[in-house]
Chains A and B, each alone.
Chain A
Amino acid sequence: MVMLANTQGIADTHPQTEDGAGPVLTLSGISKSFPGVKALSEVSLELFPGEVTALVGENGAGKSTIVKILTGIYQPDEGAIAINGTPVSFPTAQDAGRAGVTAIHQETVLFDDLSVAENIFIGHAPKTRFGLIDRKEMLRKAQALLDRIGARIDPNVTLKDLGIANKHLVAIARALSIDAKIVIMDEPTASLSHKEIEETYELVERLKAEGKAILFISHKFDEIFRIADRYTVFRDGQMVGKGKIEAVSEQELVKLMVGRSVDQVFPKRAPQLGEEVLKVVGYCHPTEFEDIGFTLRAGEILGFYGLVGAGRSEFMQALFGVTRPSKGAIRIDDRIAVIRDPNEAIRQGIVYVPEDRGKQGAIKGLPIFQNVSLPSLKETSRKGFLRLAEEFKLARDYTRRLDLRAAALDQDIGELSGGNQQKVVIAKWLATKPRVIILDEPTKGIDIGSKAAVHEFMAELAAEGLAVIMVSSEIPEILGMSDRVIVMREGRIAAEFEGADLSPEHLVRAAAGITEVRT
């Protein structure tokens, strides 16, 4: 509490941005490890009052880890956090909030069925003499806060009736209501329209004018150069560069971001490309993607790169029949194929290993072998009756290949560790003997050892003549595994690269829309 008063005092004496003002927040020597991964290694970060610091880095560079440390969700293993030179620690999220740090996330953490005013003041609503919520006062204060940030929102409105941009504004009003000094904005414009993005920029200007220190995480170079005052670049858990934004060019930033070569080892492959297996022409969806077309050959690994929200997973779901395209055609081998639902996709030889395996993959409550056999029941059953022995055999064959560690195949899948559940999910798809396998972020959230195993396995599948589509947001993985890469941006194919053109710079530029390279 004493510290908070101190923070306010200093911030108030420096209401305007001025060169030479000391940092309000200093992180130094911060390290954080997770089992098997070093997420952050002695990074430092400084935020200045009334200035926007852009935090730039590839996926997995450690950006979200530092945000979680700043908001009290993770504790650093080493290093110090100081606010206005006073060392602080954030054992819980509440402590971070009390110290004046607030984060506005991509998906706002608000309550859809409460009113705007209630959302702003939840947990610290003004009270009447009798300890009840003072609705009048709350509405008045909410209106004042909304006016302050220039938001034309009625505080009485239910939150769910607002668009994403306005929800962000409510989140910001909430941040102001707890008198935050440090505002973290994590890709705030990722899912906004042009007009909404402009409004967000205006808001950032207002916050700057109020003397807030802003940490702005973004993948979009145009906006970084437009609104940031300073930049900090993370790569592979290390801080690799920082400075004033005027002193750096786009090229230099990209170079810092992707670095030189990658240390990670990928399996050596000698791709044996076979016949064309899949051809997609002009796939469109009213809101998600447009004019997607490509070909895929047997034995090929085709990478799909793009920023989060570029429409890669959405397209894959349409290709797999989970959603339906409004236009477009596909050809599998020499037949024109129509895929109306996932069942048809599986029959036609396309399988999809979704990104969120916990939610979309394993079926808890069913034993391992029944999880594996689920899409193959037509083959293992006879005359409409299941044959458990056949299912068991199928599961044994495929889980053995994946080196599954389980006590018994009739064990509930929920009892397995994450990595082993994943193996069961992959075994399930391989058992359908697919022609094309789509792997959506196949190594997201798993440790380096398991990553290598997945890569090895992917190479094996391709060598056996399976056509592989890999959606990944990790540049090293995309470059290390793919024979060819399609980059998507804002729902369209931005570029396609192969051979010598496959370089980190090319991918990042195409994904961020720095220059349109269409080959």
Chain B
Amino acid sequence: MIRSLMKSRETILAGAILVLVLAIATRFPGFVAPSNLANVFNDTAPLIILALGQMVVILTRCIDLSVAANLALTGMVVAMLNMAMPGLPVPVILALAICLGALMGLANGLLVWKLDIPPIVVTLGTMTIYRGIIFVISGGEWINAHEMSDAFKAFPREVVLGLPVLSWIAIAVVIGFIVLVGRTPLGRAFFAVGGNPHAAVYTGINVGLTQCAAYVISGALAGLTGYLWVARYAVAYVDIAGGFELEVVAACVIGGISIAGGIGSVGGALLGALFLGIVKNALPVINISPFWQLAISGSAIIIAVAFNATSNRTKGRVILKKAEHAA
């Protein structure tokens, strides 16, 4: 009973998304056209990628508030690099973006691991530092479309098998995470560390190292998204993706990733991100003010958390023999 409830958390969210899409379709049938849905997915791709990175961090009882700043800094660095060396091939840029992002994630991870600073404080600090660095290296200047090479801008938009590369990357990341989280010892360690850090220590899992690994993954994905973002919108400046970290955390929370750590799934994070993406894309279409959009996103977060809280509350200890068998 309890198990089926747990399992169905994703199902319920998927149902809510379906209802939402159908409700929108009644007022604006064009919304459910495959091409539009593909657009919505493509638009949500950065959120999906970052939400998955955030998910593993939250699983280990940490949080990464620096993802959006990391994204913006990496984006600025690769944009400046492209400006200086327009001939640099895209794969090199991708690799650089991922490495730079991972390095910033490593900084977070090391601070949490080695200095034992609370994750929220560490990433709040690095968030501000990373944003500050963007200003320092760019002098507050924008880098605009005409300053970027065509190859640089074209990559995320390139259409392969009917979908842009950006969408394909998001799909690849989702598949990668299904394997990572479900099929590797590191993925298992994320759950163990978040579920019971004390027990994890006695099981031979290095808690700090595992948390650090989660930050590196989150950082690497932020770096990757940094390049994709800047290339897609063909602009880089200090404030890109400002406040996006909260959307990323919100996607995780709506997707049922427990802020207390140890509970969550790739499907949940994916659905959480899709939900927010659909709300964001659909409301302007059906002429609802962006303020409502914020209110709806906010309500979704609270409803999701309340739902998780109640489903955890029913999970009392099973002492009675008959309950044990019923469970």
Assess A366 versus B191: contact at CB under 8 Å? Given A341-B204, A407-B325, A415-B318. Answer: yes
CB distance from A87 to the nearest CB of B (A): 34
Beta-carbon contact of A366 and B3 below 8 Å: no
Beta-carbon contact of A428 and B203 below 8 Å: yes
Give Cα A341–Cα B324 distance, bound, in whole angstroms: 36
Q: Is B327 an interface residue (CB 8 A)?
A: yes
Give Cα A374–Cα B202 distance, bound, in whole angstroms: 11
Query: Chain A 377-413 against B: per-residue CB contact (8 Å), 1 yes, 0 no?
Result: 1100100111000000000000000000111000110
Q: Is A83 an interface residue (CB 8 A)?
A: no
Beta-carbon contact of B204 and A375 below 8 Å: yes
Question: Can you name the residue of chain B whose Cβ is closest to the Cβ of A386?
Answer: B183
Number of interface residues of B (CB under 8 A): 35
Give Cα A420–Cα B188 distance, bound, in whole angstroms: 22
Beta-carbon contact of B205 and A416 below 8 Å: no
CB distance from B182 to the nearest CB of A (A): 8
Assess A346 versus B185: contact at CB under 8 Å? Given A359-B199, A415-B327. Answer: no
CB distance from B94 to the nearest CB of A (A): 24
Query: Chain B 185-228 against A: per-residue CB contact (8 Å), 1 yes, 0 no?
Result: 10110011011101111111110000000000000000000000
Give Cα A70–Cα B315 distance, bound, in whole angstroms: 33
Q: Is B272 an interface residue (CB 8 A)?
A: no
Q: Is B267 an interface residue (CB 8 A)?
A: no
Q: Is B2 an interface residue (CB 8 A)?
A: yes
| Most A Cβ at <10 Å: residue of B6, B204, B324 | B204
Chain B stretch 281-327: residues in CB contact (< 8 A) with chain A? 315, 317-319, 321, 324-327
How many residue pairs link A and B with beta carbons under 8 A? The number is 106
Give Cα A370–Cα B195 distance, bound, in whole angstroms: 12
Beta-carbon contact of A405 and B324 below 8 Å: yes
Q: Is B263 an interface residue (CB 8 A)?
A: yes
Q: Is A330 an interface residue (CB 8 A)?
A: no
Beta-carbon contact of B204 and A343 below 8 Å: yes
Name the contact of A342 in the complex, choosing from B188, B203, B318 (C-beta under 8 A).
B203
CB distance from B202 to the nearest CB of A (A): 5
A-chain residues with CB within 8 Å of residue B315 when the two chains form the complex: 412, 414-415
Give Cα A30–Cα B241 distance, bound, in whole angstroms: 69
CB distance from B86 to the nearest CB of A (A): 39
B-chain residues with CB within 8 Å of residue A315 when the two chains form the complex: none
Beta-carbon contact of A363 and B202 below 8 Å: no
Question: Can you name the residue of chain B whose Cβ is closest to the Cβ of A356?
Answer: B198
Q: Is B156 an interface residue (CB 8 A)?
A: no
Bin chain A's interface residue count. 35 or more
Give Cα A345–Cα B319 distance, bound, in whole angstroms: 34
A-chain residues with CB within 8 Å of residue B205 when the two chains form the complex: 343, 374
Give Cα A253–Cα B239 distance, bound, in whole angstroms: 77
Query: Chain A 53-88 against B: per-residue CB contact (8 Å), 1 yes, 0 no?
Result: 000000000000000000000000000000000000
Name the contact of A365 in the complex, choosing from B184, B198, B262 (C-beta under 8 A).
B262
Name the contact of B199 in the complex, choosing from A341, A347, A361, A405 (C-beta under 8 A).
A361
B-chain residues with CB within 8 Å of residue A346 when the two chains form the complex: 203-204
Question: Can you name the residue of chain A whose Cβ is closest to the Cβ of B264?
Answer: A365
| Most A Cβ at <10 Å: residue of B185, B191, B263, B326 | B185
Name the contact of A417 in the complex, choosing from B2, B182, B318 (C-beta under 8 A).
B318
Beta-carbon contact of B188 and A385 below 8 Å: no
CB distance from A249 to the nearest CB of B (A): 44
Beta-carbon contact of B199 and A362 below 8 Å: yes
Question: Can you name the residue of chain A whose Cβ is closest to the Cβ of B187?
Answer: A386
B-chain residues with CB within 8 Å of residue A416 when the two chains form the complex: 318, 324
B-chain residues with CB within 8 Å of residue A405 when the two chains form the complex: 321, 324
Beta-carbon contact of A363 and B206 below 8 Å: no
A-chain residues with CB within 8 Å of residue B184 when the two chains form the complex: 381, 384-386
CB distance from A12 to the nearest CB of B (A): 48
Beta-carbon contact of A363 and B204 below 8 Å: no
Give Cα A360–Cα B197 distance, bound, in whole angstroms: 8
| Most A Cβ at <10 Å: residue of B203, B324, B327 | B203
Beta-carbon contact of B263 and A365 below 8 Å: yes
Question: Can you name the residue of chain B whose Cβ is closest to the Cβ of A385?
Answer: B183
A-chain residues with CB within 8 Å of residue B6 when the two chains form the complex: 412
Name the contact of B192 in the complex, choosing from A359, A363, A385, A415 (C-beta under 8 A).
A363
Beta-carbon contact of B200 and A363 below 8 Å: yes
Give Cα A344–Cα B321 distance, bound, in whole angstroms: 39
Name the contact of B204 in the complex, choosing from A345, A385, A415, A420 (C-beta under 8 A).
A345
CB distance from B125 to the nearest CB of A (A): 23
Q: Is A211 an interface residue (CB 8 A)?
A: no
Q: Is A364 an interface residue (CB 8 A)?
A: yes
Assess A417 versus B196: contact at CB under 8 Å? Given A352-B202, A385-B183, A386-B184. Answer: no
Chain A stretch 310-356: residues in CB contact (< 8 A) with chain B? 320, 322, 341-347, 352, 354, 356
CB distance from B207 to the nearest CB of A (A): 11
Give Cα A407–Cα B327 distance, bound, in whole angstroms: 7
Assess A364 versus B262: contact at CB under 8 Å? Given A415-B318, A417-B319. Answer: yes
Question: Can you name the residue of chain A whose Cβ is closest to the Cβ of B262?
Answer: A365
Name the contact of B202 in the complex, choosing from A342, A364, A377, A417 (C-beta under 8 A).
A342
CB distance from A379 to the nearest CB of B (A): 11
Chain B stretch 131-157: residues in CB contact (< 8 A) with chain A? none
Beta-carbon contact of A365 and B199 below 8 Å: no
Give Cα A406–Cα B202 distance, bound, in whole angstroms: 24
CB distance from A203 to the nearest CB of B (A): 35
Beta-carbon contact of A322 and B202 below 8 Å: yes
Assess A354 versus B318: contact at CB under 8 Å? Given A365-B262, A366-B192, A411-B327. Answer: no
Give Cα A365–Cα B319 distance, bound, in whole angstroms: 18
B-chain residues with CB within 8 Å of residue A407 when the two chains form the complex: 324-327
Give Cα A377–Cα B179 distance, bound, in whole angstroms: 15
Beta-carbon contact of B318 and A374 below 8 Å: no
Can you spell out 20 A-B residue pairs with CB atoms less than 8 angstroms apart? Answer: A346-B203, A359-B198, A359-B199, A360-B198, A362-B196, A363-B196, A363-B203, A366-B188, A374-B203, A377-B185, A381-B185, A385-B184, A407-B326, A411-B327, A412-B2, A412-B315, A414-B315, A415-B324, A416-B318, A428-B203
Apart from A343-B205, A360-B202, what are 8 other A-B pairs with CB-CB below 8 Å?
A: A360-B196, A362-B196, A363-B191, A365-B191, A365-B195, A374-B188, A384-B185, A386-B185
Give chain B's interface residues, CB within 8 Å of chain A: 2-3, 6, 179, 182-185, 187-188, 191-192, 194-196, 198-206, 262-263, 315, 317-319, 321, 324-327
Minimum-distance CB pairs A-B, first 4: A343-B204, A365-B195, A365-B262, A363-B196
